[in-house]
Structure 1
Amino acid sequence: MDARRRTTLMQDGPYGNAMPSGIPVPSSTVKKSALRAPASRMSMAPAAGHGGSQPTRGSIMGGMSHSASQDTLRRSTINRQSQMGGGRVQGKPEGGYVGQTPQSNRNMNGMSSVRRQSTFPSSSRPSMLPPSAAAARDGRPVKTAAFQASCRENIEQFCRTQRCPIAINDRTLHSPTQKDFLQIFRWLISEFLDPSFQWGLKAPTEEILYILGDLRYPGVGNISKTALAAPGSASNWGTLLAMLNWLVDLAKAHENWVNPDVISDPSRCKASDLPLDHPLLEDRVLWDFISQTYVRWFRGDGEEFPEIQAEVQDVYDRINQASVDESDELETLVHKRTVELQQLQAQEPPLKTLEEEYVRLMSDKTKFIAFIDLHRQKADKIKQGTAKAKAVISDHDHQLGAARSELGSIESAVSAQNLSPDEVQRMNHERETLSRQIEDLRLKTAEASQQSYDQEMSVTRSMDRFEQLLADYTALGHQIGTIPPISEGPMLGPDGIDYSVDLDLGVEDVNEVMAAGRRLRSEIWPALQSYGEGFRREMVEIENGNIALDDENDRLGQKVERQKEEAANLDMRLKVVNDQAEHAKTQLQVETSSANTRISRMENEVAQVLKDTQKGVVDLKGDIETKRIGFNELRHKTGNLQESIQREITSHIDVIIRAKEHASNQLKGIRGIAETH
């Protein structure tokens, strides 16, 4: 029986522990009790640990199976369970099924119609599948016309694609006879799901129910023997058509189950196709190598398998290359991290830098707060001055309005008077004179206003410069410590003098500005001069100390140079002595190495001569034995060839004789006919 035949749910995968192994084993390893088991059909349902096989293909791996047509490793929970509790070897001629029906559950005499209980829940472990209901209700709309039309289309397309030998027409899929139904059902089972099923041992209806039960068809409880006896009736055909459609879908899935272009299960791929990061790659490679070489060794193909070893070597070369690449990447990463660590260790600690930055920022924050408070006070003073200026402008506006009202009343009074022409002329002349004077005064007022504006702008620029200089003075005072921060309250500077300057140039009282100026010239400036003179004296002292330290450093440097020269002379003497010792040591090592090399070469030559002699004797014996075996085989083949040639010559002679006799008889007949006519 072909080991690659298709069986119901026959698959190489996580549940392949119950499958027939592709590794042949000696017949002595097969249990006698299994060999004496009667030849009954095996279950088509998955079973854990009861895997049937032929006597020449029985598994000795404790339930682990390996298909000879697809050398892939089968690993799953069921495999491990079968190794502990299952793995019974069956020497049955039909041992290609996934599961096997226990012999005790069968009626060996009559193959009764009582359905056996599935053995998928093995005694070695609990079942991983839920128990099937005895009469589960089919949820598909089997009675609807649309569903039946889709089922017919699916079945017809599958039969046409698979070149079904059964003639299927429109009547076959609408109202078939029992014969048509049985032909389609048996074709699906025999060709795709269970090629080894023995038909005719039971009634057709019992066989159908038996197979559907083994296939775990979910709607088997809705199919009765009466429906199978009359499948073409309107009440029965919908359910049976849905069942045939389910078998077609199962056959399609079964064909794709072992298609390497469709599947993506790692347990079904070759070990060479698995990714290098697969957790069981090495186990898979080892298993494939053992299974392939064992099959060929058992068949007597030889002891060495270079092509299989080359495949394994290729996989391990890829693994080693990946490991080397990963190691190089890790070494590069370690080197990079080491350099970064050295840089961090060589640099100043970042925490210390951050602490110093924090202290500097907090100091700047205090200074900025003081600066903002100072400007806030100045802004308040400017607002007060602006309010006073607005009040003065308002008073001037009232006075100007009153003057304009008085002028209007005077003009109206003059107009009301009855004056002579001379008086009018005189008044006009006076008016023109007054107008010219007013115009002159207006021009002088404009010039005075422009000069006042220019002076005001100059004063404003001077005040802005004074404000900038005052801000710089305050900032420098904060830096050198003569002016304490405002947050610390009013405090005197060095020598008990208040170095702060609080002066507002926008005040109306000029005496305050003059008093502040006198204070700057008489008190603050001399104090700053004396304060700076103290720093200059301190700087001179520090420079004198630095000069003295530089002189001392020069004297120490000269002394160190003399000691370095003495140490260099001693090092030169020591180096000469060490070189002489190293030269003597090297010469001794060279002589010793040359002597050892000559001794080793002579020993190797002697060993090689002995090895070549022994190998020549063994090779000569092997050649003699090979030639003897080849001669015997050649003589045997020659005898067989002579016999076959003699048989062929004899058969050809017989054919020639019969042909001559036939030709002679035909000629005689023709001659007789010719003579008759």
Structure 2
Amino acid sequence: MESEHPTLQDASLVPDEFDDIHHHHALAMSHYLDAYEVFLLGQDVYPEQEKNLEERYALKDSRVVVDLEQKKEQMKAISADLQRILKAPAPIEQLKESNGYLKHDRAKFEEYIRVAEQRKEGLVNTIKHEKTELAQTLAAIDQLKAEEARLTSIVKVQNLSPEEVLRMNSEHEVLTRDLESLRYKIAEASRNALKLEVSLTKKVTDAEEAVDAYTNLLSSLGLFPPLPEPLQDVKLTLALNTAASNPPEMLMGSGLREVIKPSLAIIAELKRAERADVESERIKVDNELDQLTTEWENMEEEANEVLNKVTALNDEAEELREVAQQEALVSNAEATHLERELAQARTSAMANGVGVKSRLQAVQIAYREQVDRVERLRDETVRAIIKNSSDIVTFKEEVSTQLKDLRDFAEEN
């Protein structure tokens, strides 16, 4: 008993999860013992013992059930990923499309870099020109200062009379006033030059922004080279050269008035012609669609009329069949009657001799006519039914063909 071996069939020794057959036998033995105790007390049903056994096996399978649910969720996620991968286009197609976009962006970026390099070159030239002017101005100022010092030293060493000194002082005062006036004018000119420089800088910035906007507009409209015929050799790009001394030379390009404006007018005319063609094509397609809609409505009306005719023909065929059946019944009754009369005639002929033979022949002829009439009515009924069925099938095939053609045309357009 201390060995705790599975064959002892002790239910308390069974782990939560098990696969050994002895553990199953132990739980079964425990269930038998508990149920037998209840049976000895006079009960024939054991719901509590069965419930305990079910709960014990549910405990055994709980981890497996949880693991199974997790596996099911993982399978659903993997299936969804698989469907998404199968429905998605091939990675090489996406890479080719991305490669095309990147090449297009690279071409636009290289064109933008070229324009920016031109702007940079123009700005560098402008800075060099300004530095040169600044150096010349500083040199002129130093020269004037040296000249002033030389003149001052000359005045100091000269022996002048009071009248000359007075005259020179008055001249100096006049020159001083003139110098102040010149300084004021220079300051005013400097302020005006600064204002003009600020205004020029703003206008240059506006012009550069306009050129950039024009370049971006060309990029968005796809008007970078090569252009379509007859403008394959025309370049519509512009660049601003702020270092140019001649204003007409500041705008670098193929020529705004001579080439770019006429080319843009030609492109606008081509686009208007394309738009007019597209609009006319759209109107044509709308008209064709309206015609097809009208034809479809007419065909639908004709189909309804033919359906009504087919229904009427079916009703007529049904009536003919009923009439034929009634006539066949009447003919069968008459044939039966004639057969009975023929039998009687044969009996009478056999009894009366040759005198009744003519009556027998007349009855036989009438019988054959009646049989032929029944066969003829049957054949006419069958032919009418076959004809109506054939008409219905032909009509359905024709309507299906017309509707299929209409659907294919609508999908293609």
Same fold (TM over 0.5): yes
Determine helix, strand or coil for the equivalent of 1:400: helix
1:423-572 counterparts in 2 under 5 A? 423-484=164-225, 494=231, 496-510=233-247, 512-513=249-250, 519-561=255-297
Equivalent residue, structure 2, for 1:374: 115
Question: Which string of whole-angstrom CA distances, capped at 9 and with x for unpartnered residues, describes residues 394-436 of structure 1?
Answer: 2332232122112112112212223333333332222222222
Gaps of 5+ in 2: 312-413
Query: Aligned partners of 1:378, 1:402: CA distance in 2, in Å?
Result: 36
Query: Aligned partners of 2:61, 2:301: CA distance in 1, in Å?
Result: 56
Change (3 A) 1:296 1:504: closer
Q: CA deviation at 1:521?
A: 0.8
Q: Which amino acid is the alignment partner of residue 28 of structure 2?
A: F
Q: CA deviation at 1:513?
A: 3.9
Equivalent residue, structure 2, for 1:182: none
Query: Aligned partners of 1:534, 1:317: CA distance in 2, in Å?
Result: 80
1:284-323 counterparts in 2 under 5 A? 284-290=23-29, 293=32, 306=46, 308-317=49-58
Contact 2:9/2:26, CA 8 A, preserved across alignment = no
1:132-531 counterparts in 2 under 5 A? 266=15, 274=16, 278-280=17-19, 284-290=23-29, 293=32, 306=46, 308-317=49-58, 344=84, 349=89, 355-484=96-225, 494=231, 496-510=233-247, 512-513=249-250, 519-531=255-267
Equivalent residue, structure 2, for 1:65: 8
Equivalent residue, structure 2, for 1:147: none
Determine helix, strand or coil for the equivalent of 1:499: coil
Question: Which string of whole-angstrom CA distances, capped at 9 and with x for unpartnered residues, describes residues 545-594 of structure 1?
Answer: 110101111221233345567879979x99xxxxxxxxxxxxxxxxxxxx
Equivalent residue, structure 1, for 2:346: none
Question: Which string of whole-angstrom CA distances, capped at 9 and with x for unpartnered residues, describes residues 279-329 of structure 1?
Answer: 53886344332367379979x979989464442122235567877777777
Change (3 A) 1:549 1:355: same
Query: Aligned partners of 2:272, 2:233: CA distance in 1, in Å?
Result: 20
Change (3 A) 1:554 1:333: farther
Contact 1:483/1:499, CA 8 A, preserved across alignment = yes
Query: Aligned partners of 2:178, 2:21: CA distance in 1, in Å?
Result: 120
Q: Which has the higher helix share?
A: 2
Gaps of 5+ in 1: 4-9, 18-63, 74-265, 267-273, 486-490, 575-677
Change (3 A) 1:295 1:501: closer
Identity %: 24
Q: Which amino acid is the alignment partner of residue 442 of structure 1?
A: R
Q: When the two structures are aligned, how many residues end up with a matched partner?
A: 305
Determine helix, strand or coil for the equivalent of 2:244: coil
Change (3 A) 1:455 1:541: same
Question: Which string of whole-angstrom CA distances, capped at 9 and with x for unpartnered residues, describes residues 165-222 of structure 1?
Answer: xxxxxxxxxxxxxxxxxxxxxxxxxxxxxxxxxxxxxxxxxxxxxxxxxxxxxxxxxx
Pick which of 436-445 and 395-404 moved more.
395-404
Query: Aligned partners of 1:563, 1:340: CA distance in 2, in Å?
Result: 47
Query: Aligned partners of 1:416, 1:544: CA distance in 2, in Å?
Result: 99
Contact 2:224/2:236, CA 8 A, preserved across alignment = yes
Q: Which amino acid is the alignment partner of residue 393 of structure 1?
A: L
Equivalent residue, structure 2, for 1:77: none
Equivalent residue, structure 1, for 2:369: none
Q: Which amino acid is the alignment partner of residue 212 of structure 2?
A: A
Query: Aligned partners of 1:379, 1:414: CA distance in 2, in Å?
Result: 52
Determine helix, strand or coil for the equivalent of 1:549: helix
Q: Which amino acid is the alignment partner of residue 416 of structure 1?
A: V
Equivalent residue, structure 2, for 1:33: none
Contact 1:483/1:500, CA 8 A, preserved across alignment = yes
Contact 1:474/1:500, CA 8 A, preserved across alignment = yes
Change (3 A) 1:563 1:72: farther
Q: Which amino acid is the alignment partner of residue 13 of structure 2?
A: T
Contact 1:492/1:498, CA 8 A, preserved across alignment = no
Q: Which amino acid is the alignment partner of residue 477 of structure 1?
A: L
Query: Aligned partners of 1:331, 1:566: CA distance in 2, in Å?
Result: 56
Query: Aligned partners of 1:396, 1:301: CA distance in 2, in Å?
Result: 129
Q: CA deviation at 1:529?
A: 0.8
Contact 2:236/2:254, CA 8 A, preserved across alignment = no
Contact 2:236/2:260, CA 8 A, preserved across alignment = yes
Determine helix, strand or coil for the equivalent of 2:168: helix
Q: Which amino acid is the alignment partner of residue 512 of structure 1?
A: E
Contact 2:118/2:239, CA 8 A, preserved across alignment = no
Query: Aligned partners of 1:279, 1:386: CA distance in 2, in Å?
Result: 90
Query: Aligned partners of 2:27, 2:205: CA distance in 1, in Å?
Result: 94
Question: Which string of whole-angstrom CA distances, capped at 9 and with x for unpartnered residues, describes residues 620-652 of structure 1?
Answer: xxxxxxxxxxxxxxxxxxxxxxxxxxxxxxxxx
Question: Which string of whole-angstrom CA distances, capped at 9 and with x for unpartnered residues, describes residues 518-540 of structure 1?
Answer: 93112221122122212211211
